[in-house]
Chains A and B, each alone.
Chain A
Amino acid sequence: MTYLAKPKFHHPDLPKNDLGYTHRDYEGTVSTLCAGCGHDSITAAIIQACFELSIEPHRVAKISGIGCSSKTPTYFLGNSHGFNSVHGRMPSVLTGANLANRDLIYLGVSGDGDSASIGFGQFAHSLRRAVNMTYIVENNGVYGLTKGQFSATADRGSKSKRGVINTDNSIDLAAMALQLGATFVARSFSGDKQQLVPIIKAAIAHKGASFIDVISPCVAFNNHAGSTKSFDFVREHNEAVSRLDFISSRMPIEIQYDPGTVEIVEQHDGSKIALRKLAADYDLHDRTAAMGFLQHHAAKGQIVTGLLYMDNESDDLHAHLHTVDRPLNELGAKELCPGQTALDKFNAGLR
């Protein structure tokens, strides 16, 4: 139904957030992806998360690369500036944008081809630079737009729609993100909105590089028996380490869980995460343990989901570069140009 324009009117009783916006104010144009695509569920989760966080839509910059996943920023936050850049290069464009204006919220949307193959380098370096962003990979293990080639996150031994067996080892982007120093690492499943929405909210509130690997089955090319990124496979092999609730700094904390298994984590902006641990031995703040946990379960064929690691003492690239608080793009000649007097001094030193 993508040829139909989305109607602008909505029900007068739609719930409003603190800014007076409804859910509809966070939507974009109608998706042109295949019906049932996991990516559309992620889009819905992003809309939900931004609505619940009462983010002003125009204060978000949504940046993507190339591919099915990278098309999705048109489908959410229609009042935000978006940038569909080149294949695998979302992280550098986002880094530059972030340097120019530290006050916006940066949402980087990428796919497994975009981030694990052509853009593997940029994925890695943006995380190690601690760019303040939420980096979402919509991971379906397959090249959708070019019709079904394996991507680098496809598991070894998994079968393509045409029946080809993948003989290459797969890249686990969440494990890589941990190794590279991302200060917020999560994995979720597009079919699990209960888990995904709070993770996105917490990631947006996190200061520093937040990375979310979202397994998102491709209904056209990777949802068959033999695929390890199909709805059925992921549901059967999902090993959730945590369930979380995101509590903004304005809301009172109401812990609905059994206190013995709940951990409250406070973030920089005062927001809190109530984390219900499902794996009793899991330590959210231990990077090396998280890496071990992931590998241990991967070896058993299990896909670990949930918030995997978080550093609540994190900072970002601007802190490292010690830049001024005001966005650099607001500075004018008065602040930037030293003028003839400084030039006279400079000239005098070169004679």
Chain B
Amino acid sequence: MPTASPISRVNDFVIRFANVNGSGSASANEMFARAIMRMGVPVAPRNIFPSNIQGLPTWYEVRVSEAGHLGARGGTDMMVAMNPQTFDKDIASIEPGGYLFYDSTKPLPASKFRDDITVIGVPLTAICNREYTDPRQRQLFKNIIYIGALSALLDMDVKVVEQLIGEQYKGKDKLIAPNIKALNIGRDYAILNLQCPIGLRLSQRDKVGDRIFIEGNNAAALGAVYGGATVCAWYPITPSSGLADAFTRHCEKLRVDPETKKAKYAIVQAEDELSSIGMVIGASWNGARAFTATSGPGISLMQEFIGLAYFAEIPAVLFNVQRAGPSTGMPTRTQQCDIISCAYASHGDTKHVLLFPEDPTESFQFGAEAFDLADRLQTPIFVMLDLDIGMNHHLSQPLKWDDARAYDRGKVMTAADLDTGKDFGRYLDVDGDGIPFRTYPGTHPTKGSFFTRGTSRDRYAKYTEEATPYVDNMQRLLRKFDTAKDLVPRPVQASAGKPTKYGVIYYGSTAPAMDEAIHMIEARGHALDRMRVRAFPFHSSVNSFVADHDFVFVVEQNRDAQLRSLIVNECDIDPVRLVPILHYDGTPITARFIDKAIGDHLDRMKVKPMKVSS
């Protein structure tokens, strides 16, 4: 008998599947998560996988939260332990009172288990061996069988799963019946042999609304389609490859000329990241909207070109799906660790525009917006996703597009403009915003041509190494960066609802965990004003937010408090006023972590009034 009483919760738990990668578990697990969403219950799945194709441990965590908390929670209420390699550790990670689901074909000694959890054995291998002769089928159907058993144990609506199977194998209809059969084998076994349901239960709700289930890479790629990108040059790197793949798929569907069947896009898998950014710069210089998708190591390789694009003022869009560094680091784990390396990428004095989407919906919005910003500001724009946003499915607001919206192609002089005798100086600031006009190659037979170079030049693009025009140009670039502050997405603020001396700044994939943590922190009796920063350079409201509080926590997913350094540096703020809250072990930050770090900090500061004893 368990020493801790079994956890009993409806629509609020974490279930984790421990599998071996390459075993076909991913699609079964995803179907499980999707089924919960179809039951109207918010769900947040996360894939924890190795940099490997077959044979290493992989986990799929499904957080079920009727309250709508979509960040990682931490802890596991039920472990589906299908991987002998990690069995012991997996069991150790179950919360007291939690549940273990395992393949009981081979009897295991009691010492393998814990007495404070509920152990549920299903002889999956024996069932598969009995039902199937083909070894591949035995493996694949095992996954569906355990989903079937879970559906009974968790009181899941099995019709929803059956419907999903039908959708998944649409077009391969032969596979539908055997999968549904496998599902019911598992379900029937559980109903006949186990006590169903257990303390963790699912129940139909209507809490999902019109939200969609999508990965950030997929959404960002669609953003690039909507933003008018026609050229994509990329080099494969985890976790960003899916973005280029998704762009290809979307283009094949949405960007083929219906009459000629020809492509209104060009995608090149380059030989390396240097080449991919070179192609993006060449295409943008020539008036197309172009982007690359990469991760930290790719950004490192692109440094020289990024400096060229900054100095020669060529638009470029870079999607950086961040992973844990430095070096190869943990290529399949998440971090927000390239903030500094992107903000100040390249040699010499450089500064770049960064956008920080919080989820797939913003990845779509910012993915499209980045192209307008790149054209308007004539500079590289970095869209900073991370592995958690990019590669996991997130329950997100549906994607929206205003059909009246026109692309902002920025300051481009046309042949007609040149013919009216307008003065064209490629690096001439005509209206004080620091942004000069450009011309596309091939515009006019005798006017408007210029030489693009990484060397210093005057306002009319003529080569010079003289001090005055160099400084003039560098100052104009700073003016342009100032202009950017009001063009990029503004921070999102939320007030504590009562006066407080403390605030918190966070960004990107930290958002769902922060949204949840704030309730926990408030429950401790603390009040915090919140600001989610969505872009660099910082809008002036970042300065005032810090100024309005005694101190501000800066929550981020890297070791060196990179955004905090950027705020200190760019907003001239006393570092003492910014308290770093750092999570960087490669797993997504959790509400529990934030609550503990910030809550404990504030608890320690709470002044306890001294009582005078009578």
In the docked arrangement, what's the CA distance between A91 and B275, Å?
A: 8
Task: Decide yes or no whether B344 CB sits under 8 A from chain A.
Answer: no
- CB proximity to A under 8 Å, residues B252-286: 254-255, 257, 260-268, 270-272, 274-286
In the docked arrangement, what's the CA distance between A104 and B277, Å?
A: 21
Cβ contact of A96, chosen from B260, B278, B407, cutoff 8 A: B278
In the docked arrangement, what's the CA distance between A58 and B418, Å?
A: 14
Task: Decide yes or no whether B493 CB sits under 8 A from chain A.
Answer: no
**Are the CB atoms of A351 and B213 closer together than 8 Å?**
yes
Main secondary structure of the interface of A (DSSP, over half): helix
With both beta carbons as reference points, the residue of chain A lying nearest to B450 in the complex is identified as A81
**Are the CB atoms of A329 and B230 closer together than 8 Å?**
yes
Q: What does the 1/0 interface line of B113-142 toward A look like (CB < 8 Å)?
A: 000000000000000000000000000000
Cβ contact of A335, chosen from B210, B264, B267, cutoff 8 A: B264
- CB proximity to A under 8 Å, residues B191-244: 208, 210-214, 222, 225-226, 228, 230-231, 233
Interface pick from B9-17, B19-27, B438-446: B438-446
Cβ contact of B282, chosen from A84, A93, A331, cutoff 8 A: A93
- CB proximity to B under 8 Å, residues A286-322: 317-318, 321-322
With both beta carbons as reference points, the residue of chain B lying nearest to A338 in the complex is identified as B254
Contacts of B231 in A (CB 8 A): 96, 99-100, 328
Contacts of A89 in B (CB 8 A): 274-275, 278, 305
Decide: A328 near B278, CB < 8 A? Known: A59-B442, A338-B225, A340-B400: no
Contacts of B230 in A (CB 8 A): 99-100, 328-329, 331, 336
CB distance from B417 to the nearest CB of A (A): 15
**Are the CB atoms of A125 and B270 closer together than 8 Å?**
yes
Cβ contact of B440, chosen from A79, A324, A329, cutoff 8 A: A329
Decide: A58 near B266, CB < 8 A? Known: A81-B442, A336-B255, A347-B398: no
**Are the CB atoms of A337 and B226 closer together than 8 Å?**
yes
With both beta carbons as reference points, the residue of chain A lying nearest to B453 in the complex is identified as A84
Cβ contact of A93, chosen from B212, B279, B398, B449, cutoff 8 A: B279
Task: Decide yes or no whether B51 CB sits under 8 A from chain A.
Answer: no
Task: Decide yes or no whether B432 CB sits under 8 A from chain A.
Answer: no
Task: Decide yes or no whether B511 CB sits under 8 A from chain A.
Answer: no
Contacts of A321 in B (CB 8 A): 263, 266-268
Task: Decide yes or no whether B452 CB sits under 8 A from chain A.
Answer: yes
In the docked arrangement, what's the CA distance between A104 and B282, Å?
A: 13
**Are the CB atoms of B262 and A343 closer together than 8 Å?**
no
Task: Decide yes or no whether B144 CB sits under 8 A from chain A.
Answer: no
**Are the CB atoms of B233 and A84 closer together than 8 Å?**
no
**Are the CB atoms of A86 and B213 closer together than 8 Å?**
no
Interface size class of B (residues with CB under 8 A): 35 or more
Contacts of B226 in A (CB 8 A): 337-338, 343
Contacts of B450 in A (CB 8 A): 81-82
**Are the CB atoms of A336 and B228 closer together than 8 Å?**
yes
CB distance from A348 to the nearest CB of B (A): 9
**Are the CB atoms of A101 and B449 closer together than 8 Å?**
no
Task: Decide yes or no whether A92 CB sits under 8 A from chain B.
Answer: yes
Task: Decide yes or no whether A283 CB sits under 8 A from chain B.
Answer: no
CB distance from A30 to the nearest CB of B (A): 13
Task: Decide yes or no whether B353 CB sits under 8 A from chain A.
Answer: no
Contacts of B225 in A (CB 8 A): 336-338
Task: Decide yes or no whether B406 CB sits under 8 A from chain A.
Answer: yes
Query: Once A and B bind, how many residue pairs between them come within 8 Å at the CB atom?
Result: 229
- CB proximity to A under 8 Å, residues B430-483: 439-446, 449-455, 463
In the docked arrangement, what's the CA distance between A336 and B446, Å?
A: 31
**Are the CB atoms of A58 and B283 closer together than 8 Å?**
no
**Are the CB atoms of B266 and A346 closer together than 8 Å?**
no
Contacts of B454 in A (CB 8 A): 84-86
In the docked arrangement, what's the CA distance between A103 and B440, Å?
A: 13
Contacts of B528 in A (CB 8 A): none
Cβ contact of B441, chosen from A101, A129, A340, cutoff 8 A: A101
CB distance from A62 to the nearest CB of B (A): 9
With both beta carbons as reference points, the residue of chain B lying nearest to A351 in the complex is identified as B212
In the docked arrangement, what's the CA distance between A79 and B98, Å?
A: 75
In the docked arrangement, what's the CA distance between A97 and B279, Å?
A: 7
**Are the CB atoms of A92 and B279 closer together than 8 Å?**
yes
In the docked arrangement, what's the CA distance between A73 and B285, Å?
A: 17
**Are the CB atoms of B254 and A84 closer together than 8 Å?**
no
Task: Decide yes or no whether A166 CB sits under 8 A from chain B.
Answer: no
Task: Decide yes or no whether A342 CB sits under 8 A from chain B.
Answer: yes
Listed residue (A80, A85, A343) with the most chain B CB atoms within 10 angstroms of its CB: A85
CB distance from B40 to the nearest CB of A (A): 11
- CB proximity to B under 8 Å, residues A54-90: 56-59, 61, 63, 73-74, 78-86, 89
In the docked arrangement, what's the CA distance between A322 and B265, Å?
A: 9
Task: Decide yes or no whether A339 CB sits under 8 A from chain B.
Answer: yes
Decide: A58 near B260, CB < 8 A? Known: A93-B282, A333-B407: no
In the docked arrangement, what's the CA distance between A340 and B368, Å?
A: 14
Cβ contact of B288, chosen from A80, A125, A329, cutoff 8 A: A329
In the docked arrangement, what's the CA distance between A72 and B38, Å?
A: 64
Task: Decide yes or no whether B287 CB sits under 8 A from chain A.
Answer: yes
Enumerate the 7 nearest inter-chain pairs by beta-carbon distance, A residue then B residue, closest first. A96-B282, A92-B278, A100-B288, A96-B279, A81-B441, A329-B287, A100-B286
A residues near B, CB below 8 A?
A: 56-59, 61, 63, 73-74, 78-86, 89, 91-101, 103-104, 121-122, 124-125, 129, 317-318, 321-325, 328-329, 331-333, 335-340, 342-343, 346-347, 350-351
Some 29 contacts from A to B, beta carbons below 8 A apart, are A73-B451, A79-B445, A81-B440, A81-B449, A81-B452, A82-B449, A83-B452, A84-B454, A86-B305, A92-B275, A92-B279, A94-B282, A96-B233, A96-B284, A96-B285, A96-B286, A97-B283, A97-B285, A97-B286, A104-B442, A122-B271, A324-B257, A324-B264, A325-B262, A331-B264, A336-B228, A337-B226, A337-B401, A351-B212
